[in-house]
Amino acid sequence: MIILELFKKNRVCTHDRVRPDAELTYCPDCGELIQNKWFLTRCACCGVKLKATIKNGEIMPENHFCRNCGEKSFVVEQLKKINFIDIDYAVLVKTVVKPSVEEKFQSWVDIKTSSYTQELLPQFL
């Protein structure tokens, strides 16, 4: 039982339970903010949609050439919103969004209970 717990702790969340139709949502398993991005591959020559896959972290077509014209080069296009027509050709990439929040410290004084008089802070140049 202890050995199985070690393997569970080292596992990275794959965000499988994140809804694919939401643009930004929180993962119910790990609590991180996830952004869904849809990508589509097209032939660089004729513009036909090619079925996309992810290999080694790179988006590429499933076949190595276009079945329409035989061209090997392709273009990766990001979709703003997925259509039901493009769902067979597109691939979903889930990225973790790190918030860019600066740390700020604030404090409040309850005027009713304290004898604090409000003053402006000195400005040093």
Please classify residue 84 by burial: count the beta carbons closer than 10 Å to its beta carbon, then call 0-12 exposed, 13-18 middle and 19+ buried.
exposed
What is residue 8's predicted lDDT score, i.e. its pLDDT? Answer: 61
In whole angstroms, give the CA distance from residue 67 to residue 84.
22
Angular region, 47: left φ>0, alpha ψ -120 to 50, beta rest: left
What is residue 111's predicted lDDT score, i.e. its pLDDT? Answer: 64
Identify the CA nearest to 14 among candidates 26, 5, 27: 27
CA 82 centroid distance within chain: 15
Alpha-carbon distances, residue 62 vs 19, 56, 57, 67, 78 (angstroms): 24, 13, 14, 11, 17
Block mean pLDDT (10 aa), the chain, length 125? 60 87 90 93 93 93 90 93 91 88 66 65 64
What is residue 12's predicted lDDT score, i.e. its pLDDT? Answer: 83
